Amino acid sequence: MPKIIFLDTYYPNVFKNVPDYKIPAIGQYDSRSLRQNELNKLHFGTSYYYSRAFSQMGWDAEDIVGNDPTMYSWVGAASNEILSRDPDIVYCQDLGFLSDQEIYIMKSRGIKLVAQHSCPWAGDDRVRQYDIVFTSFPHYLERIRQVGTRAEFLPIAFGHWVLDYVEPQPRDIDICFIGGVNGTSGHWSKGTELLEEVAKQLPERFRWWGYSIGNLRSYPNLSKTYGGEAWGLEMYRILARSKMVINRHGEVAQGYSNNMRLFETTGMGAMLLTEKSKNLSEYFIDGKECVSYESTSDLIDTLNAALYEGLVDMEDIAKAGQARTLKDHTYEKRLAAIEPILKELIK
Protein backbone atom coordinates (compact mmCIF):
# COMPACT_ATOMS: atom_id res chain seq x y z
CA MET A 1 0.00 0.00 0.00
CA PRO A 2 1.69 3.27 -1.08
CA LYS A 3 1.91 5.90 1.66
CA ILE A 4 1.37 9.62 1.08
CA ILE A 5 1.39 12.57 3.47
CA PHE A 6 -0.36 15.80 2.58
CA LEU A 7 1.50 18.69 4.17
CA ASP A 8 -0.41 21.95 4.47
CA THR A 9 -0.28 25.23 6.37
CA TYR A 10 -3.17 27.32 7.66
CA TYR A 11 -3.54 31.05 8.20
CA PRO A 12 -2.60 31.76 11.84
CA ASN A 13 -6.06 33.06 12.76
CA VAL A 14 -7.63 29.75 11.74
CA PHE A 15 -6.11 28.05 14.78
CA LYS A 16 -8.12 30.32 17.07
CA ASN A 17 -11.14 28.19 16.16
CA VAL A 18 -9.59 24.99 17.57
CA PRO A 19 -9.26 24.34 21.31
CA ASP A 20 -5.66 24.53 22.48
CA TYR A 21 -5.11 21.66 24.87
CA LYS A 22 -2.18 19.81 26.36
CA ILE A 23 -1.02 16.48 24.97
CA PRO A 24 -3.13 13.63 26.38
CA ALA A 25 -1.21 10.81 28.03
CA ILE A 26 -2.07 8.27 25.34
CA GLY A 27 0.99 8.35 23.14
CA GLN A 28 2.32 10.79 20.57
CA TYR A 29 0.74 9.23 17.46
CA ASP A 30 -2.73 8.93 18.98
CA SER A 31 -2.48 12.49 20.26
CA ARG A 32 -1.57 13.78 16.81
CA SER A 33 -4.52 11.90 15.33
CA LEU A 34 -6.89 13.48 17.84
CA ARG A 35 -5.49 16.93 17.09
CA GLN A 36 -5.74 16.37 13.33
CA ASN A 37 -9.36 15.29 13.75
CA GLU A 38 -10.05 18.61 15.47
CA LEU A 39 -8.44 20.48 12.58
CA ASN A 40 -10.44 18.43 10.08
CA LYS A 41 -13.66 19.62 11.71
CA LEU A 42 -12.82 23.14 10.51
CA HIS A 43 -13.05 22.18 6.82
CA PHE A 44 -10.48 24.87 6.09
CA GLY A 45 -8.88 25.07 2.64
CA THR A 46 -8.35 21.61 1.17
CA SER A 47 -8.93 20.19 4.68
CA TYR A 48 -8.80 16.37 4.66
CA TYR A 49 -10.20 16.17 1.13
CA TYR A 50 -7.01 14.98 -0.57
CA SER A 51 -6.28 12.30 2.02
CA ARG A 52 -9.86 11.04 1.99
CA ALA A 53 -9.89 10.76 -1.79
CA PHE A 54 -6.56 8.90 -1.80
CA SER A 55 -7.67 6.62 1.04
CA GLN A 56 -10.70 5.68 -1.04
CA MET A 57 -8.29 4.77 -3.85
CA GLY A 58 -6.39 2.38 -1.59
CA TRP A 59 -3.52 4.58 -0.39
CA ASP A 60 -2.29 4.99 3.18
CA ALA A 61 -2.95 8.74 3.32
CA GLU A 62 -2.41 11.17 6.20
CA ASP A 63 -2.58 14.94 6.78
CA ILE A 64 -0.10 17.14 8.59
CA VAL A 65 -0.72 20.84 9.19
CA GLY A 66 2.87 21.89 9.49
CA ASN A 67 2.43 25.25 11.22
CA ASP A 68 -0.06 24.07 13.85
CA PRO A 69 1.35 25.77 16.97
CA THR A 70 -0.24 23.25 19.33
CA MET A 71 0.81 20.04 17.60
CA TYR A 72 4.38 21.01 16.87
CA SER A 73 5.06 22.46 20.27
CA TRP A 74 4.58 18.83 21.39
CA VAL A 75 6.62 16.83 18.92
CA GLY A 76 9.11 19.24 17.32
CA ALA A 77 9.29 20.20 13.69
CA ALA A 78 6.70 18.86 11.28
CA SER A 79 9.50 17.45 9.15
CA ASN A 80 10.53 15.15 12.01
CA GLU A 81 6.99 13.87 12.19
CA ILE A 82 7.00 13.25 8.44
CA LEU A 83 10.26 11.30 8.61
CA SER A 84 8.93 9.17 11.46
CA ARG A 85 5.98 8.17 9.27
CA ASP A 86 8.32 7.11 6.39
CA PRO A 87 6.04 8.02 3.46
CA ASP A 88 6.66 7.30 -0.20
CA ILE A 89 5.44 10.77 -1.18
CA VAL A 90 5.04 14.10 0.57
CA TYR A 91 2.53 16.31 -1.20
CA CYS A 92 3.07 19.95 -0.20
CA GLN A 93 0.13 22.30 -0.44
CA ASP A 94 2.48 25.12 0.59
CA LEU A 95 5.54 24.83 -1.63
CA GLY A 96 7.52 27.27 0.50
CA PHE A 97 7.05 25.63 3.90
CA LEU A 98 9.89 23.11 4.02
CA SER A 99 13.44 24.43 4.31
CA ASP A 100 16.15 23.50 1.83
CA GLN A 101 17.74 21.26 4.47
CA GLU A 102 14.47 19.47 5.21
CA ILE A 103 13.93 18.86 1.51
CA TYR A 104 17.46 17.51 1.17
CA ILE A 105 17.01 15.08 4.06
CA MET A 106 13.68 13.81 2.76
CA LYS A 107 15.02 13.26 -0.73
CA SER A 108 18.10 11.51 0.69
CA ARG A 109 15.69 9.06 2.39
CA GLY A 110 14.09 8.30 -0.97
CA ILE A 111 10.93 10.30 -0.35
CA LYS A 112 9.41 11.83 -3.47
CA LEU A 113 8.33 15.44 -3.12
CA VAL A 114 5.44 16.94 -5.06
CA ALA A 115 3.66 20.25 -4.59
CA GLN A 116 0.67 22.31 -5.57
CA HIS A 117 1.67 25.81 -6.72
CA SER A 118 -1.06 28.25 -7.75
CA CYS A 119 -0.01 31.46 -6.03
CA PRO A 120 2.71 34.09 -6.57
CA TRP A 121 5.85 32.42 -7.95
CA ALA A 122 7.97 30.82 -5.22
CA GLY A 123 11.23 31.19 -7.12
CA ASP A 124 13.06 29.02 -9.64
CA ASP A 125 15.35 27.44 -7.07
CA ARG A 126 12.47 26.36 -4.86
CA VAL A 127 10.36 24.95 -7.70
CA ARG A 128 13.39 23.04 -9.00
CA GLN A 129 13.64 21.01 -5.77
CA TYR A 130 10.36 19.14 -6.37
CA ASP A 131 9.83 16.02 -8.46
CA ILE A 132 6.43 17.16 -9.74
CA VAL A 133 4.61 20.47 -9.34
CA PHE A 134 0.88 20.53 -9.92
CA THR A 135 -0.75 23.85 -10.77
CA SER A 136 -4.19 25.22 -11.60
CA PHE A 137 -2.51 28.07 -13.53
CA PRO A 138 -2.21 27.16 -17.24
CA HIS A 139 0.43 29.87 -17.63
CA TYR A 140 2.65 28.25 -14.97
CA LEU A 141 3.05 24.94 -16.78
CA GLU A 142 5.81 26.02 -19.15
CA ARG A 143 7.45 28.15 -16.47
CA ILE A 144 7.74 25.11 -14.18
CA ARG A 145 9.12 22.97 -16.97
CA GLN A 146 11.71 25.58 -17.86
CA VAL A 147 13.39 25.14 -14.46
CA GLY A 148 13.60 21.38 -15.04
CA THR A 149 10.65 20.17 -12.95
CA ARG A 150 7.78 18.10 -14.23
CA ALA A 151 4.57 20.16 -14.40
CA GLU A 152 1.03 18.80 -14.40
CA PHE A 153 -2.25 20.69 -14.66
CA LEU A 154 -4.60 20.12 -11.70
CA PRO A 155 -7.60 22.41 -11.26
CA ILE A 156 -8.96 23.24 -7.81
CA ALA A 157 -12.14 21.41 -6.76
CA PHE A 158 -14.92 21.14 -4.18
CA GLY A 159 -14.85 18.94 -1.09
CA HIS A 160 -18.44 17.77 -1.30
CA TRP A 161 -18.18 16.05 2.09
CA VAL A 162 -18.69 19.44 3.72
CA LEU A 163 -22.33 19.35 2.64
CA ASP A 164 -22.94 16.79 5.39
CA TYR A 165 -21.98 19.41 7.99
CA VAL A 166 -23.94 22.44 6.76
CA GLU A 167 -27.67 22.39 7.38
CA PRO A 168 -29.92 23.95 4.71
CA GLN A 169 -31.02 27.45 5.71
CA PRO A 170 -32.79 30.48 4.21
CA ARG A 171 -30.71 32.42 1.69
CA ASP A 172 -30.93 35.76 3.46
CA ILE A 173 -27.73 37.32 2.04
CA ASP A 174 -28.31 38.88 -1.37
CA ILE A 175 -24.72 39.55 -2.45
CA CYS A 176 -21.71 38.03 -0.74
CA PHE A 177 -17.94 38.05 -1.01
CA ILE A 178 -15.61 35.94 1.14
CA GLY A 179 -11.86 36.28 0.86
CA GLY A 180 -8.89 38.58 1.20
CA VAL A 181 -8.75 42.21 0.17
CA ASN A 182 -5.95 44.76 0.02
CA GLY A 183 -5.83 47.73 2.32
CA THR A 184 -3.30 49.71 0.35
CA SER A 185 -1.32 47.41 -1.94
CA GLY A 186 -0.85 43.86 -3.16
CA HIS A 187 -1.99 41.45 -5.83
CA TRP A 188 -5.76 41.95 -5.24
CA SER A 189 -5.78 45.69 -5.95
CA LYS A 190 -8.16 45.65 -8.91
CA GLY A 191 -10.51 43.22 -7.23
CA THR A 192 -10.61 45.34 -4.10
CA GLU A 193 -11.56 48.42 -6.11
CA LEU A 194 -14.36 46.40 -7.73
CA LEU A 195 -15.71 45.27 -4.34
CA GLU A 196 -15.53 48.82 -2.99
CA GLU A 197 -17.78 49.98 -5.83
CA VAL A 198 -20.27 47.18 -5.16
CA ALA A 199 -20.33 48.18 -1.49
CA LYS A 200 -20.88 51.80 -2.51
CA GLN A 201 -23.67 51.12 -5.01
CA LEU A 202 -25.52 48.39 -3.10
CA PRO A 203 -24.70 48.89 0.59
CA GLU A 204 -27.95 47.40 1.87
CA ARG A 205 -27.64 44.25 -0.22
CA PHE A 206 -23.90 43.47 0.01
CA ARG A 207 -21.88 41.90 2.83
CA TRP A 208 -18.36 40.56 2.85
CA TRP A 209 -16.28 38.43 5.20
CA GLY A 210 -12.56 37.75 5.23
CA TYR A 211 -9.36 39.57 5.99
CA SER A 212 -7.38 42.52 4.71
CA ILE A 213 -3.75 43.08 3.89
CA GLY A 214 -2.98 46.49 5.35
CA ASN A 215 -5.81 48.84 6.35
CA LEU A 216 -9.06 49.73 4.64
CA ARG A 217 -9.00 53.51 5.07
CA SER A 218 -8.92 53.91 1.30
CA TYR A 219 -12.07 51.77 1.03
CA PRO A 220 -14.68 53.26 3.38
CA ASN A 221 -17.63 51.39 1.88
CA LEU A 222 -15.92 48.04 2.32
CA SER A 223 -15.28 48.95 5.93
CA LYS A 224 -19.02 49.58 6.47
CA THR A 225 -20.13 46.27 4.93
CA TYR A 226 -17.58 44.02 6.66
CA GLY A 227 -18.92 41.02 8.57
CA GLY A 228 -15.66 39.79 10.14
CA GLU A 229 -13.43 36.81 9.49
CA ALA A 230 -14.97 33.55 8.28
CA TRP A 231 -12.84 30.42 8.06
CA GLY A 232 -13.70 26.91 6.99
CA LEU A 233 -17.10 25.65 8.11
CA GLU A 234 -18.24 29.16 9.02
CA MET A 235 -17.42 30.28 5.47
CA TYR A 236 -19.43 27.42 3.99
CA ARG A 237 -22.41 28.30 6.18
CA ILE A 238 -22.32 31.87 4.87
CA LEU A 239 -22.17 30.61 1.29
CA ALA A 240 -25.19 28.42 2.06
CA ARG A 241 -27.06 31.58 3.11
CA SER A 242 -26.06 33.56 0.01
CA LYS A 243 -28.02 34.08 -3.19
CA MET A 244 -25.12 35.46 -5.23
CA VAL A 245 -21.38 35.33 -4.55
CA ILE A 246 -18.88 37.61 -6.26
CA ASN A 247 -15.61 36.04 -7.32
CA ARG A 248 -12.50 37.87 -8.41
CA HIS A 249 -8.97 36.65 -9.09
CA GLY A 250 -5.70 38.25 -8.21
CA GLU A 251 -3.44 39.73 -10.84
CA VAL A 252 -1.24 36.63 -10.61
CA ALA A 253 -3.98 34.60 -12.38
CA GLN A 254 -3.28 36.56 -15.60
CA GLY A 255 -6.82 36.33 -16.91
CA TYR A 256 -7.48 32.67 -16.09
CA SER A 257 -10.19 31.27 -13.82
CA ASN A 258 -8.68 28.99 -11.20
CA ASN A 259 -9.46 29.78 -7.58
CA MET A 260 -11.23 27.80 -4.85
CA ARG A 261 -14.15 30.25 -4.64
CA LEU A 262 -15.43 29.11 -8.06
CA PHE A 263 -16.14 25.66 -6.70
CA GLU A 264 -16.94 26.52 -3.08
CA THR A 265 -19.64 28.95 -4.25
CA THR A 266 -21.27 26.65 -6.75
CA GLY A 267 -20.83 23.60 -4.55
CA MET A 268 -22.80 25.31 -1.79
CA GLY A 269 -25.61 26.20 -4.19
CA ALA A 270 -25.11 29.96 -4.54
CA MET A 271 -25.04 31.72 -7.91
CA LEU A 272 -21.49 32.43 -9.00
CA LEU A 273 -20.60 35.86 -10.43
CA THR A 274 -17.07 35.71 -11.80
CA GLU A 275 -14.91 37.46 -14.36
CA LYS A 276 -14.96 36.53 -18.01
CA SER A 277 -11.75 34.64 -18.59
CA LYS A 278 -9.71 32.64 -21.06
CA ASN A 279 -10.84 29.31 -19.65
CA LEU A 280 -14.13 29.81 -17.76
CA SER A 281 -15.94 27.66 -20.34
CA GLU A 282 -13.81 24.68 -19.27
CA TYR A 283 -15.58 24.72 -15.91
CA PHE A 284 -19.04 26.28 -16.35
CA ILE A 285 -21.51 27.32 -19.04
CA ASP A 286 -21.73 31.09 -18.78
CA GLY A 287 -25.31 32.28 -18.36
CA LYS A 288 -26.54 28.81 -17.39
CA GLU A 289 -24.24 27.56 -14.61
CA CYS A 290 -22.68 30.89 -13.62
CA VAL A 291 -22.77 34.53 -14.71
CA SER A 292 -19.66 36.36 -15.85
CA TYR A 293 -18.84 40.07 -15.93
CA GLU A 294 -16.32 42.08 -17.95
CA SER A 295 -16.00 45.21 -15.82
CA THR A 296 -17.14 46.82 -12.60
CA SER A 297 -20.03 48.57 -14.33
CA ASP A 298 -21.04 45.30 -16.00
CA LEU A 299 -21.10 43.58 -12.61
CA ILE A 300 -23.21 46.36 -11.05
CA ASP A 301 -25.67 46.16 -13.95
CA THR A 302 -25.94 42.38 -13.52
CA LEU A 303 -26.55 42.69 -9.79
CA ASN A 304 -29.28 45.26 -10.34
CA ALA A 305 -30.84 43.13 -13.06
CA ALA A 306 -30.94 40.15 -10.69
CA LEU A 307 -32.18 41.99 -7.62
CA TYR A 308 -34.59 44.58 -9.02
CA GLU A 309 -35.50 43.68 -12.58
CA GLY A 310 -35.94 39.91 -12.47
CA LEU A 311 -33.74 39.51 -15.55
CA VAL A 312 -31.38 36.94 -14.00
CA ASP A 313 -32.79 33.65 -12.77
CA MET A 314 -30.56 33.33 -9.71
CA GLU A 315 -32.11 30.13 -8.39
CA ASP A 316 -31.97 28.15 -11.63
CA ILE A 317 -28.40 29.23 -12.39
CA ALA A 318 -27.33 28.38 -8.85
CA LYS A 319 -28.89 24.91 -9.07
CA ALA A 320 -27.26 24.24 -12.43
CA GLY A 321 -23.89 25.44 -11.14
CA GLN A 322 -24.11 23.17 -8.12
CA ALA A 323 -25.07 20.20 -10.27
CA ARG A 324 -22.08 20.81 -12.55
CA THR A 325 -19.67 21.09 -9.65
CA LEU A 326 -20.94 17.93 -7.94
CA LYS A 327 -20.67 16.09 -11.26
CA ASP A 328 -17.34 17.32 -12.61
CA HIS A 329 -15.43 19.37 -10.04
CA THR A 330 -15.02 17.25 -6.89
CA TYR A 331 -11.70 16.27 -5.34
CA GLU A 332 -12.56 12.60 -5.88
CA LYS A 333 -12.73 13.16 -9.64
CA ARG A 334 -9.75 15.54 -9.85
CA LEU A 335 -7.44 13.33 -7.81
CA ALA A 336 -8.42 10.12 -9.55
CA ALA A 337 -6.93 11.72 -12.68
CA ILE A 338 -3.51 12.28 -11.06
CA GLU A 339 -3.31 9.08 -9.00
CA PRO A 340 -1.64 7.12 -11.84
CA ILE A 341 1.00 9.86 -12.12
CA LEU A 342 1.91 9.50 -8.45
CA LYS A 343 1.93 5.71 -8.62
CA GLU A 344 4.34 5.89 -11.55
CA LEU A 345 6.57 8.27 -9.56
CA ILE A 346 7.25 5.67 -6.86
CA LYS A 347 7.73 2.61 -9.03
Per-residue pLDDT of 127-144, as tens digits, reads 999 999 999 999 999 999
Do 43 and 179 fall within a single domain?
A: no
More confident residue, 30 or 95: 95
Q: Looking at residue 341, which CATH number applies to its domain?
A: 3.40.50
pLDDT of 65 > 60? The answer is yes
| pLDDT greater than 90 at residue 53 | yes
Task: Say whether pLDDT at 201 is over 60.
Answer: yes
CATH for 203: 3.40.50.2000
List the single range of 24-38, 150-164, 236-250, 289-303 with lowest mean pLDDT: 24-38
Give all strands (DSSP E) within 9-76, no chain letters: 60-65
The torsion defined by the Cα of 89, 91, 96 and 99, in degrees rounded to 10, comes to -20
Can you tell me the mean pLDDT for 184-197?
79
Same domain, 17 and 45: yes
- Which residues form the domain of 142? 3-157+331-345
Q: Which of 158, 114, 196, 124 is nearest to 272 (CA)?
A: 158
d(CA 191, CA 199): 12
What DSSP state is assigned to residue 185? Answer: -
| CB of 264 closer than 8 Å to CB of 209 | no
Q: 324 and 178, same structural domain?
A: yes
What residues does 325 pair with on adjacent strands?
none
Please, which pLDDT band fits residue 73 given cuts at 50, 70 and 90?
low
d(Cα 184, Cα 201) in Å, to the nearest integer? Answer: 21
Do 259 and 292 share a domain, yes or no? Answer: yes
263: nearest Cα among 190, 169, 155: 155
- Statement to judge: residues 77 and 28 lie in one domain: yes
Q: Please tell me the distance from the alpha carbon of residue 100 to that of residue 125, in angstroms, as a whole number.
A: 10
Quick one: 41 and 99 in the same domain? Answer: yes
pLDDT of amino acid 156: 97
My answer on whether 34 and 174 are in the same domain is: no
Domain count for the chain: 2
pLDDT band at 31 (very low <50, low <70, confident <90, very high): confident
Does residue 96 carry a pLDDT above 60?
yes
Do 24 and 42 belong to one domain? Answer: yes
If you average pLDDT over residues 188-196, what whole number do you get? 88
Give the Cα separation of 92 and 94 in Å (integer). 5
Contact 116, 91 (CB under 8 A): yes
Q: Given a cut of 60, is residue 75 above it in pLDDT? A: no
Average pLDDT over residues 226-246: 97
Residue 186: is its pLDDT beyond 60?
no
Q: Is residue 263 domain-shared with residue 319, that is, in the same domain?
A: yes
- The answer on 129 and 189 residing in a single domain is no
| In the predicted structure, residue 84 carries a pLDDT above the cut 60 | yes
Asked if residue 346 lies in contact with residue 112, where contact means CB atoms within 8 angstroms, the answer is: yes
Convert the pLDDT of each residue in 238-292 to its tens digit. Answer: 999 999 999 999 889 999 999 999 999 999 999 999 999 999 999 999 999 999 9
Residue 204 has pLDDT above 70, yes or no: yes
Are 341 and 315 within one domain? no
Please indicate, yes or no, whether residues 190 and 129 belong to a single structural domain of this protein: no
Average pLDDT, stretch 38-65? 96
Checking if the pLDDT of 304 tops 60, the result is yes
Q: pTM above 0.75?
A: yes
Apex 211 CA angle, 208 and 213, nearest 5: 125
**DSSP state letters, 277-342:** -SSGGGT--BTTTBEEESSHHHHHHHHHHHHTS--S-HHHHHHHHHHHHHHH-BHHHHHHHHHHHH
